[in-house]
Amino acid sequence: MNKRPLYFDYAATTPVDERVIKVMVECLGFTGNFGNPASSSHVFGQQARQSVEQARRQVAELVGATPEQIVWTSGATESNNLALKGVTQARGAGAGHVITSQIEHKAILDTARQLQDAGVAVTYLVPDAEGLITAQAVSEAMREDTFLVSLMLVNNELGTLNDIPAIGQVVRDRGALFHVDAAQGAGKVAIDLAQWPVDLMSFSAHKLYGPKGIGALYVGPRARQRLQAQIHGGGHEGGLRSGTLATHQIVAMGAAFALAAASFDEEKAVIERLRERLLEQLHSIPGVRLNGSPTRRIPHTLSLTFSEGEFNPAALLASIAFSATSACNSASNAPSHVLLALGHDARSASRTIRLSLGRFTTEQDIDQAVQLIKAACASAPAFWQ
């Protein structure tokens, strides 16, 4: 059996934590907690409902929300669609104006283009040189008819961290709603929705050691009456998202968020040490460059560009699981739209890799990865020189 590659693609997805798998499995099978949580007429439904509501509390506790503000979805992509389309459609007449940025996830960019096709004006902010969207940039882009701003907390390719409280205050002062895609930030950034001026926030379980296919949307008090459901049929989730709730996935997401809350400080410190170990060893490679702010970032995600003639990424494919671009671009083999927005050309983007660290990364993994990267630099093909 071939040895498995080192895993450095936690930003794409995380393995489900064994402790999460345990609670998930307990909701399957006839002897498990399998009932329909929408049914309260018998004990099976009641038990499932109690588990769903416990998970709702666990998700809310990690991000400083209240349980009733958490709406279950199939993942951050659906949450983003519900936020952008739901707010737009709830407005009724009048096209209006939406602000987002050039470096958002495709779940936002493609949805924004759908809004444009429906007549909404959309401004795509250009990031600064450090891959950040500033409150000043948002303020300058605001118009009288701006009704929604949507920006990510943590960039999925760069790991850069936007100043969401500052941006949110600008948006709130102008009367618009503020949506934040926090798929890459939950469990890595201390989020406090009780204090932050944020109206809508998207979450995903599979970025935080939970299963795929489950996520949530935080709906704050300013947004509750300004959001139209996108999936109808039963009025579940306060009328905002119909469909039978997947107890096993929801319970697993709750467990994953509870584990993240319990180990937040310890895990962040470990990842920071691993990140520093990685960067210190990579500094010996001539011309390697870290993309994005060196300070306003999470430690988990690194975007690294190597000098012309100094790197052969193909030499790493069998030994390290990494991303050459974001998962949303990989199917088309297109250059990263994030790197292009930062001023890279297609050739420079092709010499860029994203390494993302996680709960199961070890010092040995770091050391082995560095040696493999150095070997890939030594084997750079002649046509790049």
What number of other Cβ atoms are within 10 A of residue 317's Cβ? 12
Residue type at 255 in one-letter notation: A
Contacts of 9 (CB under 8 A, 6+ apart): 321, 322, 323, 354, 356
- Of the listed 52, 59, 227, 328, which one is catalytic? 328
What's the per-residue H, E or C state across the chain?
CCCCCEECECCCCCCCCHHHHHHHHCCCCCCCCCCCCCCCCCHHHHHHHHHHHHHHHHHHHHHCCCHHHEEEECCHHHHHHHHHHHHHHHHCCCCCEEEEECCCCHHHHHHHHHHHHCCCEEEEECCCCCCCCCHHHHHHHCCCCEEEEEEECECCCCCEECCHHHHHHHHHHCCCEEEEECCCCECCECCCCCCCCCCEEEEECCCCCCCCCCEEEEECCCCHHHCCCCCCCCCCHHHCCCCCCCHHHHHHHHHHHHHHHHCHHHHHHHHHHHHHHHHHHHCCCCCCEECCCCCCECCCEEEEECCCCCCCHHHHCCCEECECCCHHHHCCCCCCHHHHHCCCCHHHHHCEEEEECCCCCCHHHHHHHHHHHHHHHHCCCHHHC
**The sheet that has 289-290: what strands, in order across it?**
289-290, 301-305, 352-356
Catalytic residue check, 328 = yes
Q: How many CA atoms lie within 13 A of 247 on its CB side?
A: 22
The first and second tokens of residue 195, run together, are 């204090």
Catalytic residues, which ones?
Answer: 328
